């Protein structure tokens, strides 16, 4: 429901609870499956707000990112990736000079490549696409619906990885079923709340929460 209102945040809340009742090996796979349900249902409940013309570039970039970064995982150090993402988000949202300069190189091919590719090993890559959409689109519903489409694609790319990591998912089908149902209901209720909220307020909240997330990512690497 939180993610349906502001575009993200639900996944971080969810993963903080999962260790209480799931085996460590199942936390990431089940979190990914529930997030897939959350993002795809959020997109479906706002289907008429999705900016479909942005999909081809992101989709091509996602496929390349999953293949290239997925193949090179064992040769790439991911230690400082959250730091880079955090700095990029902060500068892109609040520095007009940086935002203007980086716009020359920003494309949804690149965002798809980074969000999906790095998402295989770094949890918080969804804000990459969200920060760019916040800059390029003015309507809160278009921002969140299109971001949900992007994150759905990124989570689909992880499914083969989950199947390789564990075969124990079948033993937790009832838990997965209840959590997926909860995610869909939350998406529905959150979408209803967002449609009633003021556009300018929600966009400002998205920017502030993205900034707090970025600071958290930077501090996490520094510590």
Where do the H-state alpha helices sit in the chain?
Answer: 2-6, 10-17, 24-44, 55-71, 81-94, 96-102, 108-119, 126-136, 140-156, 159-165, 173-196, 199-222
Cα–Cα distances in angstroms (integers) from residue 102 to residues 64, 73, 166, in the given order: 21, 27, 40
Higher confidence at residue 47 or residue 77? 47
- For residue range 157-196, list pLDDT tens digits in order: 777 766 665 556 667 788 889 989 999 999 999 888 888 8
Q: Which pLDDT belongs to residue 134?
A: 84
Q: Which pLDDT belongs to residue 58?
A: 92
Total residue count of the chain as it appears in this document: 223
Q: Which pLDDT belongs to residue 16?
A: 66
**How far apart, in whole angstroms, are the C-alpha atoms of residue 6 and residue 205?**
7
**How far apart, in whole angstroms, are the C-alpha atoms of residue 209 and residue 11?**
14
Is pLDDT at 78 greater than 70 in this prediction? no
CA 161 to chain centre: 17
Q: Residue 187: is it exposed, middle or buried by C-beta count within 10 angstroms (0-12/13-18/19+)? A: buried
């Amino acid at each position: 429901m939180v993610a349906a209102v502001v575009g993200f945040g639900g996944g971080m809340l969810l993963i903080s609870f999962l260790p209480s009742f799931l085996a460590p090996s199942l936390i990431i796979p089940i979190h990914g499956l529930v997030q897939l349900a959350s993002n795809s249902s959020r997109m479906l409940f706002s289907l008429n707000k999705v900016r479909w013309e942005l999909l081809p570039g992101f989709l091509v970039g996602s496929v390349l990112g999953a293949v290239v970064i997925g193949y090179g995982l064992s040769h790439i150090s991911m230690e400082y990736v959250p730091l880079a993402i955090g700095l990029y988000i902060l500068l892109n949202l609040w520095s007009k000079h940086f935002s203007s300069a980086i716009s020359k190189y920003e494309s949804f091919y690149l965002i798809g490549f980074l969000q999906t590719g790095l998402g295989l090993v770094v949890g918080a890559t969804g804000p990459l696409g969200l920060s760019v959409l916040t800059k390029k689109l003015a309507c809160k519903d278009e921002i969140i619906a299109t971001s949900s489409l992007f994150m759905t694609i990124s989570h689909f790319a992880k499914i083969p990885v989950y199947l390789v990591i564990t075969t124990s998912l079948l033993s937790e089908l009832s838990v997965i079923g209840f959590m997926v149902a909860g995610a869909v209901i939350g998406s529905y209720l959150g979408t209803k709340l967002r449609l009633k909220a003021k556009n300018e307020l929600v966009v400002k909240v998205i920017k502030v929460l993205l900034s707090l997330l970025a600071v958290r990512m930077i501090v996490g690497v520094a510590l």
